[in-house]
Amino acid sequence: MASDSVRREEILSTAAEMFASSGLRTSLREIADRCGILPGSLYHHFDSKEAIVVELVRRYRDELDLVAKEAFDALHEPDQRPVEERVVELSQAIAACAVRHRAALLLTLYEPPTGAGEELVDLARQAPTAIDAAMTEILQAGRTAGALRAGIDLALLGERICQSMLHVGVGVFHRSHAQQLPAQKCRILLHGVAVTVPSKAVLDRSAAMEAARVVIAGWDAPPDDDDRVAHLRAVARAEFGRRGFEVTTMRDVAKAAGMSTGTVYRMFGSKDDLLVDIMAAYSENVAAAWDQVAQSSSSPLEQLDALMWLNVNVLDRFSEEFKIQLAWMRQSPPSSVDLGGSFGLQLRQLQDLLAAGEAQGELRVEGGSLLARTRSLYELILTPENVILHAGPRGAHALARDTVLRGALARR
């Protein structure tokens, strides 16, 4: 018979695998069945599903802290390697940790699930400050050595790099390329993709940027449909984003909207119909915005810059839809290589843009296939929400220009 410690490890390993593939919908009975034990035997080791989740998150956090400690320890040792090698080394370690702990990552990268206990909420909301600090120290050492340009907020850049590496654990494509993608993303952020970077004034006056501004301004235009429908949609959007779609009922939405439940059902036949309406409008807005930028008369580089500004504003303007989407990913982790399948068109548009820019000698992304280069670039033009919260939309866009376009390294 397996010892208690061996059985406990088996349960944790099985639960991590099932949460990573099937999400939090996985039940204790399903975990017990996969382990070949009775549910009662599982309760001997863990008194609830949340107790398993807490242990998985704690182990993930401990390993991230260990990765940071090893990076800090290495900073006190003589090391003549270029800063880029040291950044890539830490980035690969963070990405590998994210892949190993995908279940815990999905629980902590975003808001904890509604109804979670105090211990899990506290754990899930702890920012990975240790790895951020370690990355920032490496970048600071590089600046001291004259390798990094002045004027870049290194703490913000360190956080940006770490977030990008944690995202390697989310998508299927990313996990299958977990060794190559960290280095490729670091090359983009440190070297930039622009062969020659126009001035801020030139980029601000581009036709692509003007197209982006017009689209963004249109997002705040009054809706064409019935005021009550628009009101209900806005309230449901906020409730789904705050509570999570899974646990929010039509009664909750009706109460928040000041309507009867029957009225809500007459306007939208089901909760699923209401969600589809909200997310379809979101997807249509984003797709139309990308189309306007892609159809502008600007160069590929100018279009790329405008897309970065556009996506900063998408997260700022559609934060609730973004939270709904992320909560869905936690409940039902993606199993397709097309992470965020509704944005497949944008990925193809970016691939065409990158190919055109490389053909014209305007853009340069080294390493891997065109698809791999596009996927790395696609994620890096999507600024993380925490960076936008810390720096504001304009500060986040400035960081994107200073890294994705220009590159943080001093150009020789």
Q: Residue 148 forms beta bridges with which residues?
A: 409
Q: Is the pLDDT of residue 4 over 90?
A: no
Contact 113, 330 (CB under 8 A): yes
Give domain status of residue 368, yes or no. yes
> How many domains does the structure of the chain reveal?
2
Closest CA to 114 of 17, 22, 232, 252: 252
Cα separation, 267 vs 285, whole angstroms:
22
Return the SS3 of 355.
helix
Q: Is the pLDDT of residue 145 over 80?
A: yes
What phi, psi does 221 have (nearest 5°)?
-70, 145
Q: Which domain holds residue 6?
A: 1-47
Q: Is the pLDDT of residue 168 over 80?
A: yes
CATH code assigned at 290: 1.10.357.10
Cα separation, 123 vs 104, whole angstroms:
10
Give domain status of residue 275, yes or no. yes
Q: Is the pLDDT of residue 2 over 60?
A: no
Give domain status of residue 2, yes or no. yes
Q: Which residues of 356-384 are buried (b: 16+ CB within 10 A; e: fewer)?
A: ebbeeebbebeebeeebbbbbbbbbbbbb
Q: If pLDDT is split at 50, 70 and 90, which confidence band does 165 have?
A: very high
* pLDDT (0 to 100) of residue 281: 81
Give domain status of residue 162, yes or no. no
Give domain status of residue 120, yes or no. no
Cα separation, 140 vs 153, whole angstroms:
10
**Residues 8-18 pLDDT 10s:** 999 999 998 88
Residues 279-286 have a mean pLDDT of: 84
* pLDDT (0 to 100) of residue 343: 62
Cα separation, 71 vs 75, whole angstroms:
6
Tell me how far CA of residue 194 lies from CA of 152, 189, 303, 358, in angstroms. Answer: 17, 11, 12, 10
Cα separation, 100 vs 13, whole angstroms:
10
Give domain status of residue 172, yes or no. no
Sequence length of the chain is 412
CATH code assigned at 5: 1.10.10.60
Give domain status of residue 88, yes or no. no
**Residues 57-103 pLDDT 10s:** 999 999 999 999 999 998 888 877 899 999 999 999 999 999 888 88
Give domain status of residue 93, yes or no. no
